[in-house]
Structure 1
Amino acid sequence: MRASLITLVTLSLALLSVAEPLLSPINVHEKRNSIPRGWSLTRRHDTASVLPLRFALKQRNIEDIGTYLYDISHPKSPNYGQHWTAGEISRKFAPSDESLSAVQDWLIENGMERERIKVSPTKGWIQVDATVEEAERLMNTEYNVYTHQTGQEHVACEAYHLPEHISPHVDFVLPSVHFDAKLTRRSGDDGRASNIGQPGVGIKPKTTGAVTETVSEIEQCNEYITPVCLRALYGLEYEPVATEKNSYGIVEYTPEAYLKSDLEMFAMNYSQDLLGKEPYQISIDGGYQQMEYQGFDYNGEPDLDLQYGMTLVTGKQQVTLYQAGDMVEGASFNNFLDAIDGTYCTFEGGDDYTQDSKYPDYSPGGYAGPEDCGTVKPAYVISTSYGYDEADLTPFYAERQCAEYAKLGLMGVTILYSSGDDGVAGNDDYCLNPNGTQTADGTMFDPSFPGTCPYVTSVGATMMKPNASVYDAQPEMACMEVIYSGGGFSNYFAMPEYQKEAVDYYLQTYPPDYPATMWNSTGMSRAFPDIAANGANYVVAVDGEFELVYGTSCSSPVSGAIFTMINDARLAVGKGPIGFINPTIYSAEFAGLFNDITEGTNPGCGTDGFNATIGWDPVTGLGTPNFPKLLAKWLTLP
C-alpha cells in the first residue's frame, strides 16, 4: 500500500474526515479538531481577497502504489522485473474523466465562469481564483487568518463541506484545514528546500584537511580509502560490457560543482582510464559548472561523487551528471524530479514555491528559460548525496515526493540517498523538541529524508577498523570517526512490508533502551538505513590537493556504482535493470549476501544512539555489498 503518514507526538497534523448523515445534500469533507501548536486565530479573512482555490482530484489507484511496486520488485513475484512505462504509470494513477467533469460542472453551476477554471496537464488538479466570499459560499465554510509565534501568517478554515456527489471525486482542497505552511525552524535559515546546494545546508561531506604523505594504497586502507581499497572490500572486480545499454546518474545542486582539473588530478593518480574524460552533463533549470566560488564547501561533494562513482564503473561506462538549479534560485529535489518525470510537475498540485525554485527566473543572472518538466530520461541508477531532516519538511510535502520515488521504481529506476552524518540526530547535530522544532539542545531523535521514504534505498556509513586489513574476515565497523552513520525510525512513514521481519527481529532481540518520548518506538514506522558502505578517510582531489573526506556522501555513489555494474551484467544477457531493490535485498533469497556489520553505534541527541548488531540494524542496515554474491544471485532472477 502507499506510504502512510504516522501520527506521532506532535509532529503530525490532527485531521479528521467526518461524514454527516447520508440524507444530507452536503458532507463535511475535512475538519480540524484543534489549531496546531504555535498558531493562534488572528482575524476573519477579508471577504474581497482572492484565494487560489485548488481541488486535488482523486488519484485512481494511488493508495495501491506500494503494492504495485512490491509486485514487480520481490524476487518471488511472477511479475518480477516487469517494469512499467511512463505512459502506463500516468494512465494508472490519473484521475478519471468523470471526476474532472463532475468538479468542473459543479464549479460552473456555482457561478465560476469556465475561463476562470484551469486544469493541470495531467488532469490531477483544478484551480480557480475565487474571492473569499465565493469560496465560503461554495464550501459552506469561513476562512480565517492564523498567526504563528514566529510572526508568519497562514489562511485556513476549521472545516469545509462538499456536495455528496462531488466529495468522492475530490481528495482535498487548498487552502483549507491544512497547516502545511513551512516555518523557519533554525536561526538564520530560511528553510527553503531549494537551499540544498548551499554550503552548510543538509547532508554534506566533512574533511580533516590535506593528505600530507604519499598513499601506497592497499596496505594503508585502514588510514586512507582509495578505489583499490573499495574494490578489495566489496569484491568489485568487473569490466562492464553492456555500456551502451546501461546508465548511472549522479545529482548535484548549484552552486556546488566539480572541477575538471580535480577530476584529472584524481585520474592521474588512481584511475588512469578516466584521463581526458568527463561526465555527460545534463543541465536542469539552468544548472552549470560555476567556478566563481571555490573551496571544499562548493567543490568537495561533486568532486567526491564523480571521482569515485566514475572510477568504480570504469572509463568504459558513461556517467550522467544531473546539475540542477541556477546560481540565483538553486533547486530542490522536486525541481530535479520534475525534469525526469513530466507528470510530477503537477502531481497533487505541483511544486510548493515556498520550498521549490520557480522557473523562469528573471532575477539578474537567473535562468530565464522554461522550467524543465519531463525533459530528461532517468538513468537506471541515481545516487544523491544530499538530504534534509524529515522535520524540515511538512508531512504533505514529504509524502508527495515519496510517491514519486515509487513511480520511478515502477519504471525500473534504483534511487539511492545518503542516510545522514550525525547518527540519530539531524543535520548539524540538531534534535527535535516536543513542539516539533529543532535545536542543538533538543532531546528527540531527528530522522533524515528522503532516506525515510519507503521507496528509496537509504545508505549508511562504515569505516575500516583500526589496524585492520581489507583481507580480514570482518574489516569494517559502523563509522565513528568524524561522522556517525545516520539511522533510526521515521516520524512520518509507516513500516513497509518488505522490512517488517528484519526490523521486528532487531526490536525484539536488541530492544533500544530509550524512553518512547525520545524516538518512534511504535515498531510500525519505516526504519533506515537499508544498506551501508565505507564512508571514512576517502582520498579526494579538491581544489588542486588531496584531502581526507568523510560521510555517507561517500557511501551512496560507491553503492550506486556497484548496482550499476550488476545492471551491466544483467543487461548483457538480455535481462532488465534491477530497479527498486529493497523488497529483493530484504527477502530470504538474499539473506547473507551483504557483509554484516556488528560493531559500532551512531550517537546523537545526548545518547550513544543505536547499536550495530547481527542482522539488520538502524546504523548500517543489512550491511555492505558483497558484489560477487549479489551479482550471482541477481543473475538468477528473471
Structure 2
Amino acid sequence: MRSLLPFVLLALGVLVAAEPTLSPYTLHERRSAVPEGWAWHDKHDADAVVPLRFALTQNNIADIEKHLMDISHPDSPNYGQHWTAGKVLQTFAPNDDTVAAVRMWLLENGVDGERIRVTPTKGWVEAKVTVAEAERLLQTEYHVYNHEASGTKTLLIVVLITGTPPACDSYHLPAHIQPHVDFVTPTVHFDAVIAPRDTSDDGSARTIGQPNHGVYPKTTGTVGTLFQELEHCDQQITPVCLRALYGLVYSPLAASKNSYGIVEYTPQAYVQSDLEMFAQNFSSDLAGASPQVVSIDGGEVQTTYKGFGYNGESNLDLQYGMSLVTAKQPVTLYQTGDMIEGASFNNFLDAIDGSYCSFEGGDDPTQDAAYPDPNAGGYTGKEDCGTVKPANVISTSYGYNEADLTPAYTARQCAEYAKLGLMGVTVLYSSGDYGVAGNGGLCLNADGSQSSSGTRFNPTFPGSCPYVTSVGATQVNPNSTVLEPEGACEQVIYSGGGFSNHFALPAYQKAAVDSYFANHNPPYSGAVYNNSRTSRGLPDLSANGANYVVAIDGAFSLVFGTSASSPVVGAILTLVNDARLAVGKKPIGFVNPTIYSDAFGGAFNDITSGGNQGCGTAGFTAVPGWDPVTGLGTPNFPQLVAKWLLLP
C-alpha cells in the first residue's frame, strides 16, 4: 500500500510521510488532531503487552487502477473480462523480501522468534511486545485516551508536548524498513467503531450500525394519509413514483443468474411484519417474501430493540430494494456483526474476500471488531473470512467521515473496493446527508479536527474512494410532478458531496471535474475545501432521497436520506445486469469508468437546481453536467439498458 499512497493526498495536516533524512529513523505516520469525543487520559504502563502489527506492502498495488480500468472502461478490448479471486490474490501478494526484512529487524532488536508471527498469506507480521519495547522500536510514546461518551479507552502513541495534553500523534521507522511497511497498529488510529460495549450500558453495540451513527436516515414522523397517485410524489415517494421518475418498467428474465446484496450492521435490523405491511400497500408481489439472510460474524436480525433508530435503515433498504427488483429477483441481506461487538466495513469485506483478511496487514484491532467475541453473549465462532460469495451489486447505506480515519486506513480499504471491481462487483455507498459537512454536521477545523463550529468542508468515506460508486440525493421539488426535473435534495437532508482530502482525481473522472471547474468554479478558497482540482469528487450519481413512505414498527413514516438513494440505484443496476445476463453477457462490475465515458452521454437525468449547504456556507450548487451535489444525475433506466447491452 506504500505504493498506493501517492494516490493519497497529504491534506489538512493529516499526514503519511516517508521522506528520507540523515537519521536512520524517519517519520512514517502522523495524525494532527484528536478526533471529536476522545480525550487524553494518561501515559500507558510500560510493562503492558501489546500485539504490534505491521501491515506489509503489497506487490503491484501501484498498478491496481490500471488493471481496473482495463476491464471497466467501455473502450478497452478487455471490457468485462473480470478476474478470479485467485488471480487477485496472486497479483497483489507481498514478496518474501518484505517479510524477511521486517522479521529480521525485529529479531535484531531483541524480539525473539517465539513472539513473532507471520500470516500464511504473508500479509502482516505481528509481534507481542511490551509498551516499552514498542516505544523503542517506533521511537515514540504510548498514551491512553478515553472516549468521553462511552468510557471506552484506546491505546495510542503521541509526541509528548511538555505542560499540555498531547496534540500530535506520530511514529517512526528505520529507513530500510519503511518501504516494506504501510502502517503499524496500534498507533495513531482512533476507534472508528467503539467496541466492545460495557454490559451495564443500554445493551446496544456502539458500531457503524448504532442508531444515529454515521450515515443514517432521518424522519419527520408518521404519515396520516397514504397517497397512491403520481401527482402526490412531491409529498410522498413510493415505488410507483420511482418507476415513473427513472423509467423503471422491467420484469427480470435471468434472476437465477443474478444477485443483489444489501448490507446491514447489527443492531440495525429489518422487521418482517413491516415488510409484509409495505407489500400489502405498495408491492403486492412481495407478499410472503423475505430477504435471503446471510449472517456474518454472528450477525442476527435482532428483535430485542425496536424503533426508528434500530429498524428505520434496514426497513427502508429492503422495502425499496426488494420492491424495485420485484419478487422474481432474490435479494441477499448481509447481516454483519453480533449484538455485543458489532462490526466495521472491514469485517464485511473479510467475509466476501478471503484474501482481505490479511491483505495489507489485516484488520486493525483498534478499529475493527475481533472474533471470536470474548464478551458474554458474543459470537464465539471464528471470524468469517472468505465464507460469503459477493453479490453482483452491493449497496451500503452507512459511512464514516473521511477525517475519522487515517489516510493509510482509507487507502487500504479503498484498494479492496478496487479488488472487488476487478472481480466484477458493483459497490455502492451513500454520499452522506449533511451537504458539504460530515456526518452529524461536523466540519473540519484548521488543525484537522472536527467540530460543529468548523469551517472547512468534510467529505465522507467510503464514498470518497475512487473505486466505489458514491450516491447522492435528489427530490421531487415541492408542487412539482414526476414529469418535471428533480432538484438536489433540500428537505430535511442535503446531498453529501465535495472533494476528497485523501484521494487523488481518478482518470475516469478528470474530464468531468475539469469541465465543472472551468464552467462553474465555486466561490471558495483553499481554506474552505480542497480546491486543488486534483482530488476525487463525489458523488458519482444520485437518486431520490426525500419523503419515502416506509413501514416501521407497524406504522408508515416519511423518511429522508442518501440511505434511500443507494439501494434504489442498486436495484436499477441489478436490473441492468439482468438484461445483460439474459443475453449471455457478464455483469457490469465497476461502473464509474463507463458512466463517465462519452458513450454514456444522455444516460442520466441531469440535475441543475438546488445545493448542498453546510459548514456555514451555501455549499456547492447543482449545475449542468457533473457537480459535487448530485454527480452525473439520476438514472435513466431505458437508456442505461440500451447502452450497456451494446457493450461486450
Name the counterpart of 2:189.
180
Name the counterpart of 2:96.
97
| Paired residue type of 1:490 | S
Contact kept, 8 Å, 2:28 with 2:173, in 1: the verdict is: no
Deviation per CA, 1:68-100: give whole Å up to 9, x if none.
111111000111111111110000000123433
Name the counterpart of 2:74.
75
| Paired residue type of 2:376 | P
Name the counterpart of 1:23.
none
Name the counterpart of 2:166.
none
Name the counterpart of 1:24.
none
Deviation per CA, 1:530-567: give whole Å up to 9, x if none.
00001111111111111111111111000000000000
SS at 2:565's partner residue? helix
Contact kept, 8 Å, 2:495 with 2:629, in 1: the verdict is: yes
Match of 2:596 among 560, 582, 586: 586
Deviation per CA, 1:94-130: give whole Å up to 9, x if none.
0123433454456556665443331113211122234
Following superposition, the deviation at residue 429 of structure 1 comes to: 1.5
Contact kept, 8 Å, 1:72 with 1:83, in 2: the verdict is: yes
Name the counterpart of 1:208.
220
Deviation per CA, 1:144-173: give whole Å up to 9, x if none.
34577999763367643255xx665x1246
1:619-630 to structure 2, matched below 5 A, reads: 619-630=629-640
Match of 2:24 among 19, 24, 28: 28
Match of 1:404 among 400, 406, 416: 416
1:40-119 to structure 2, matched below 5 A, reads: 46=46, 50=49, 52-101=51-100, 103-104=102-103, 107=106, 112-119=111-118
Q: Measure, in 1, the Cα distance between the counterparts of 2:287 and 2:504.
A: 46
Contact kept, 8 Å, 2:205 with 2:342, in 1: the verdict is: no
Q: Measure, in 1, the Cα distance between the counterparts of 2:270 and 2:63.
A: 40
1:94-173 to structure 2, matched below 5 A, reads: 94-101=93-100, 103-104=102-103, 107=106, 112-130=111-129, 142-145=139-142, 154-155=156-157, 159-161=172-174, 170-172=180-182
Following superposition, the deviation at residue 30 of structure 1 comes to: 3.1
Sort the Cα spacing of 1:372 and 1:355 in 2 relative to 1 into closer, same or farther, 3 A: same
Q: Measure, in 2, the Cα distance between the counterparts of 1:127 and 1:34.
A: 21
Q: For the aligned residues, what is the CA RMSD?
A: 2.9
Name the counterpart of 2:491.
481
Q: Is 1:8 the counterpart of 2:11 in the alignment? A: yes
Q: Is 1:573 the counterpart of 2:583 in the alignment? A: yes
Match of 1:518 among 496, 504, 528: 528
Q: Measure, in 1, the Cα distance between the counterparts of 2:330 and 2:391.
A: 11
Name the counterpart of 1:505.
515
Sort the Cα spacing of 1:563 and 1:52 in 2 relative to 1 into closer, same or farther, 3 A: same
Following superposition, the deviation at residue 16 of structure 1 comes to: 3.1
Name the counterpart of 2:300.
288
Contact kept, 8 Å, 2:417 with 2:468, in 1: the verdict is: yes
Q: Measure, in 1, the Cα distance between the counterparts of 2:29 and 2:102.
A: 27
Contact kept, 8 Å, 1:412 with 1:578, in 2: the verdict is: yes
1:258-273 to structure 2, matched below 5 A, reads: 258-273=270-285
Sort the Cα spacing of 1:115 and 1:601 in 2 relative to 1 into closer, same or farther, 3 A: same
| Paired residue type of 1:446 | N
Q: Is 1:433 the counterpart of 2:445 in the alignment? A: yes
Q: Measure, in 1, the Cα distance between the counterparts of 2:129 and 2:299.
A: 36
Name the counterpart of 2:545.
535
Q: Measure, in 1, the Cα distance between the counterparts of 2:311 and 2:31.
A: 44
Sort the Cα spacing of 1:477 and 1:45 in 2 relative to 1 into closer, same or farther, 3 A: same
Following superposition, the deviation at residue 403 of structure 1 comes to: 1.0
Deviation per CA, 1:9-40: give whole Å up to 9, x if none.
32x125233165xxxxxx83632698845799
SS at 1:354's partner residue? coil
Contact kept, 8 Å, 2:154 with 2:191, in 1: the verdict is: no
| Paired residue type of 1:601 | G
| Paired residue type of 1:304 | L
Q: Is 1:308 the counterpart of 2:320 in the alignment? A: yes
Match of 1:334 among 336, 339, 346: 346
Contact kept, 8 Å, 1:55 with 1:171, in 2: the verdict is: yes
Q: Is 1:447 the counterpart of 2:459 in the alignment? A: yes
Deviation per CA, 1:487-508: give whole Å up to 9, x if none.
1111111111111110111112
Q: Measure, in 2, the Cα distance between the counterparts of 1:55 and 1:565.
A: 42
SS at 1:570's partner residue? helix
Name the counterpart of 2:167.
none
Q: Is 1:465 the counterpart of 2:477 in the alignment? A: yes
Following superposition, the deviation at residue 514 of structure 1 comes to: 1.6
Q: Measure, in 2, the Cα distance between the counterparts of 1:253 and 1:565.
A: 25
| Paired residue type of 2:188 | F
Q: Measure, in 1, the Cα distance between the counterparts of 2:45 and 2:372.
A: 31
Contact kept, 8 Å, 1:194 with 1:331, in 2: the verdict is: no
Contact kept, 8 Å, 1:506 with 1:617, in 2: the verdict is: yes
Following superposition, the deviation at residue 347 of structure 1 comes to: 1.6
Deviates more, 1:96-105 or 1:590-599: 96-105
Sort the Cα spacing of 1:175 and 1:599 in 2 relative to 1 into closer, same or farther, 3 A: closer
Contact kept, 8 Å, 1:17 with 1:29, in 2: the verdict is: no
Following superposition, the deviation at residue 358 of structure 1 comes to: 1.4
Contact kept, 8 Å, 1:14 with 1:32, in 2: the verdict is: yes
Sort the Cα spacing of 1:269 and 1:353 in 2 relative to 1 into closer, same or farther, 3 A: same
Contact kept, 8 Å, 2:107 with 2:113, in 1: the verdict is: yes
The gaps in structure 2 that reach 5 residues or longer are 148-152, 159-169
Q: Measure, in 2, the Cα distance between the counterparts of 1:81 and 1:439.
A: 44
Q: Measure, in 1, the Cα distance between the counterparts of 2:181 and 2:29.
A: 19
Deviates more, 1:388-397 or 1:570-579: 388-397
Q: Is 1:226 the counterpart of 2:238 in the alignment? A: yes
Q: Measure, in 2, the Cα distance between the counterparts of 1:261 and 1:198.
A: 22
| Paired residue type of 1:56 | A
Q: Measure, in 2, the Cα distance between the counterparts of 1:430 and 1:136.
A: 33
Contact kept, 8 Å, 1:15 with 1:31, in 2: the verdict is: yes
| Paired residue type of 2:18 | L
Following superposition, the deviation at residue 43 of structure 1 comes to: 7.8
Name the counterpart of 1:601.
611
Name the counterpart of 2:162.
none
SS at 2:537's partner residue? strand
Q: Measure, in 1, the Cα distance between the counterparts of 2:274 and 2:19.
A: 56
Name the counterpart of 1:491.
501
SS at 2:24's partner residue? strand
| Paired residue type of 1:306 | L
| Paired residue type of 1:574 | G
Contact kept, 8 Å, 1:42 with 1:145, in 2: the verdict is: no
Q: Measure, in 1, the Cα distance between the counterparts of 2:442 and 2:94.
A: 40
Contact kept, 8 Å, 1:45 with 1:144, in 2: the verdict is: no
Deviates more, 1:549-558 or 1:508-517: 508-517
Following superposition, the deviation at residue 437 of structure 1 comes to: 2.0
Q: Measure, in 2, the Cα distance between the counterparts of 1:369 and 1:241.
A: 38
Name the counterpart of 1:610.
620
Contact kept, 8 Å, 2:32 with 2:447, in 1: the verdict is: no
Q: Measure, in 1, the Cα distance between the counterparts of 2:588 and 2:598.
A: 17
Contact kept, 8 Å, 1:42 with 1:144, in 2: the verdict is: no
| Paired residue type of 2:454 | G
Q: Measure, in 1, the Cα distance between the counterparts of 2:410 and 2:29.
A: 23
Following superposition, the deviation at residue 303 of structure 1 comes to: 0.7
